[in-house]
Amino acid sequence: MAASVGQGCLRLLRGVAPWRSRRRHCEDIALSHFLQSLRKLPLRTFSTNARKVHTAPARTLSLLRPLLFLVATGGGYAGYRQYEKYQEREWEKLGLEIPPKLAGHWEVALYKSVPTRLLSRAWGRLNQVELPHWLRRPVYSLYIWTFGVNMKEAAVEDLHHYRNLSEFFRRKLKPQARPVCDLHSVISPSDGKILNFGQVKNCEVEQVKGVTYSLESFLGPRIPAEDLPFPPATSCGSFRSQLVTREGNELYHCVIYLAPGDYHCFHSPTDWTVSHRRHFPGSLMSVNPGMARWIKELFCHNERVVLTGDWKHGFFSLTAVGATNVGSIRIYFDQDLHTNSPRYSKGSYNDFSFVTHMNKEGIPMRKGEHLGEFNLGSTIVLIFEAPKDFNFKLKAGQKIRFGEALGSL
């Protein structure tokens, strides 16, 4: 009896074992097919009970990685620059001198690669678009609030009068708003902030304290002597000595920065005669004081219009320097001047002489007379010859208005 039971159990176990083996084999095959089907499925958006999860192909992620890196590094660099500007403002409040920290060649090259000329042309066209009557007051009021514009000095205070941004930027002042000082020989040609002033030494001019630019690079090669209304004091020597026309005189300079909220027109700083115009197409980098402390020879990189001539003490020049969104520089008596034009290439310059057979002297300008205008804030640079006892009535960093004294003998 026991033997028969044992044989029965043995036959039962022999039947179960193959069944378990076959079941395990089937499960392995099913799992293998399931995994293969998952590999073939594209990565798409799927839902869970908690939230919606988005996925992307690995190739897209690999393409986004450089962009994310550039955004992260660019954002970090921009944040660092903003922190430096904050420090500079705090130092200015405390009356401390801000040490210059010059940009590297790669930083300047990177900045110049930005299409500022194209952007400035687009901005200029946008400024010409006529605004709806109902939109003018809120748009101009925002600009006035942002940049601290004093509309009480404007010849027309009604904001609805200005059809577009360009007309608002070029608004005229009331005649009594800027009295011209008659007691001093040189007045400020515009509203703005004094960045630097003093004597020109060693053919280098300071755009701000401690940061210089080349006088010859800024003004360009010397105008041929036969095209000048006055001969140089010396026929050789440094570029500076070639500009000085009288023995015992010195060369002086003054840099005035026009902020976006300032009066945008500029005037004649003295009684003088304009004999020549030289236009330098160039970059349109920002010329605010922070950038002037950061980029060496900033004014030499940017587009500018150099007016040269003479006054009662010899050589005199006024240069209007363009900036970002300020590609438009207008000289009222020069209809042939076209700035920020695609037909001009960077690194070149074009000359125009106002001395002709019909006009042997040039264009006479009276002190305070309207000379030109910017489309937005920018910079005016005066470089002139005067006797050694010429004195500036200025302080670096001070605010100045058109008509106030720059200096006199």
Phi first, then psi, for residue 213 (nearest 5°) are -145, 160
Structure tokens at 360: 């042997």
- Cβ-based neighbour number of residue 321 at 10 Å: 29
Which DSSP symbol is given to 345?
P
Sign of the CA dihedral running 366, 372, 378, 383: negative
Q: Could you tell me if 344 and 322 are in contact, meaning their C-beta atoms sit under 8 angstroms apart?
A: no
- Tokens 């020049």 correspond to 317
Helix (H, G, I), strand (E, B) or coil at 171: coil
Alpha carbon of residue 346 to chain centroid = 16
Q: Is 141 a catalytic residue?
A: no
Structure tokens at 250: 């010195």
Which DSSP helix (H) or strand (E) runs through 5? helix 2-40
Of 297, 311, 308, 316, nearest in space to 254 by CA: 316
**Alpha-carbon span 241 to 384, nearest angstrom:** 12
Which DSSP helix (H) or strand (E) runs through 217? helix 215-219
Helices (H) and strands (E) in the chain, counts: 10, 19
Among residues 184, 264, 267, 279, the one annotated as catalytic is 267
Alpha carbon of residue 37 to chain centroid = 58
Among residues 185, 191, 279, 310, the one annotated as catalytic is 191
Contacts with 111 (C-beta within 8 Å, 6 or more apart), sequence order: 103, 285, 295
Sign of the CA dihedral running 217, 222, 228, 234: positive
Q: Is 161 a catalytic residue?
A: no
How many alpha carbons fall within 13 Å on the CB side of residue 104?
A: 3
Q: Is 310 a catalytic residue?
A: no
Q: Could you tell me if 319 and 307 are in contact, meaning their C-beta atoms sit under 8 angstroms apart?
A: yes
Distance between start and end Cα atoms, the chain? 141
Catalytic residues: 191, 267, 378
